[in-house]
Amino acid sequence: MIDVCPPEELLQSLASEEPARSARISFRSWEELHKVLAPNRMAIIRAMTGAGALSIREVARRVGRDFKGVHTDVTTLVKNGIIDRAEDGKVIFPFERMRVEFAHSKAA
């Protein structure tokens, strides 16, 4: 699950959950989530879902973009824990689906 969660709420949530229960990536704000999961990067995730380990060149072919731009986006996704890099240099989105969750509340 990917969500937007202030750091103090995330710490409380982590303390109450079983560690191996699920994969979870939290962002501090909607803006941060949107920056990391920009439309071109979401296209990469969609192309990689269920595909196993792929070379960056293959990911670029699947999304119809140039290698350099996809390499930059893949690097960002790896740094943020969205996709993994295998020992052979290939990349993998190790999940069959992704759920994004955020709560919106009235400003104080």
Tens digits of residue pLDDT in 54-67: 999 999 999 999 99
3-state secondary structure of 107: coil
Class of 37-98 in CATH: mainly alpha
3-state secondary structure of 25: strand
* Residue bearing the bigger pLDDT, 107 or 45: 45
Domains of the chain, residue spans: 1-28, 37-98
* C-beta of residue 52 within 8 angstroms of C-beta of residue 92: yes
Mean per-residue pLDDT, 61-81:
96
105 pLDDT band, cuts 50/70/90, is low
Q: Give the whole-number percent of the chain exceeding pLDDT 90.
A: 50
Q: Estimate the crossing angle of helix 56-63 against helix 67-79, to 10 degrees.
A: 110
The per-residue b/e assignment along 85-103, b for 16 or more CB within 10 angstroms, e otherwise, is eeeeeebebeeeebeeeee
